[in-house]
Amino acid sequence: MDFRSEVRTWLEGRLADTPTPHPRTWERELGKAGWIGIGWPGEDGETYGNRRATLAEQVVWAEEYARSTAPARMGHIGENLLAPTLIAYGTEEQKQRHLPAVARGETLWCQGYSEPGAGSDLAGIRTAAVPDGAGGYAVTGQKIWTSLALDADWCFVLARTDPGSTRHRGLSFLLLEMDQPGRIEVRPIRQLTGTSEFNEVFLDGARAGEVVGGEGNGWQVAMGLLALERGVSTLAQQIGFAAELGQVVAAAVASGAADDPVIRARLVRQWAELDTMRHHALRTLGTTGDPGVPSVAKLLWGGWHQRLGELAVAVAGEAGAVGPEPWTAQRPYELDYAQRLFLFSRADTIYGGSDEIQRNIIAERVLGLPREPR
């Protein structure tokens, strides 16, 4: 059995038994079957994850997972962001402590980067960390737009460990446990869609017992992590985008909107741009050291997905302005698929590094243009 067939057979069999498993249970199932951390490098031919896999096999896993309509992952931050960062910058003790738990699906992580007043501009971080006298740090400040903070067991936090520092100097990459009553408070943020995928996190002397990459080297570690956000997962993301585009096309055909030459041209353009993004992702897969690659990828998919949301409500026509059910004081407003896609995608060009920040990176670090006056 080839690798793609092995992946497809396992996913189909497991989801047939339990189509909607509990998210935490699902993470442990993935870990038990060896599907978390495939391809993580290790020492002497070993791996910190569950199995060794080539880059092509990692792509196959990501694509088949997206095609299977399996549950959204709760462990992707630990697997795709923290783990590669620890492998690149962490000590052997840190790798052995944290990576096996992630690979087993037992530990969930969140990312403490953005702050009020320091969203995409991470160099403006004000969260402070001071030595606590016990070999760790006491962290005080506020983080925002923190995905999965309510469910996470651990958080990696970018904080200022040098009180006299400014901008990118004096930052450190710290690891802290989330279960610290009285020291960490998580507040969900209600969004336009009525859901709360993001959170505010308030830190009041929260203890961080570990620093990755050495004190004061947080900016280097953070920039290395941001480059890891666009990789194999980008191809899997595009499988999801293709499914969303398929739903919009089906809605256009069913309603007759596809007969409108303007709508039809927009549908074709979305398809062509998605195909272009896939070829770009394949061409740059495995690229390291080029700061422009992740920024170009983010610019491409953020704008594309936002335009797809706009197209979805355009296809719906007048119905796109009306909720599927009556709205009452007792019944919060509900959204249909097109409305939810439109509203949620408004943030695509902001979160994960705004378009303005991505263009600055390309201008300054790739094209060598002068920095913006500050």
Question: Could you give the residue numbers annotated as active site?
Answer: 229
Q: Please name which of 278, 208, 269, 265 lies closest in space to residue 238, comparing C-alpha atoms.
A: 278
Q: Please name which of 50, 72, 58 lies closest in space to residue 7, comparing C-alpha atoms.
A: 58
Q: Please name which of 291, 307, 312, 301 lies closest in space to residue 368, comparing C-alpha atoms.
A: 291
DSSP string, 75-110: SHHIIIIIHHHHHHHS-HHHHHHHHHHHHTT---EE
Mapped onto helix, strand or coil, the DSSP state of residue 296 is helix
Residue pointed to by tokens 């006298």: 133
Dist CA 265 CA 273 (whole Å):
12
Given the DSSP bridges, would you call strands 137-143 and 198-212 parallel, antiparallel or unpaired? Answer: antiparallel
Distance (Å) of CA 131 to CA 63, 135, 139, 228: 44, 7, 9, 29
3-state secondary structure 317-363: HHHHHCCCCCCCCCCCCCCCHHHHHHHHHHHCCCCCCCHHHHHHHHH
In sequence order, what are the residues at sequence separation of 6 or more whose Cβ sits closer than 8 angstroms to the Cβ of residue 268? none
Dist CA 127 CA 169 (whole Å):
13
Tokens of 371: 């920095």
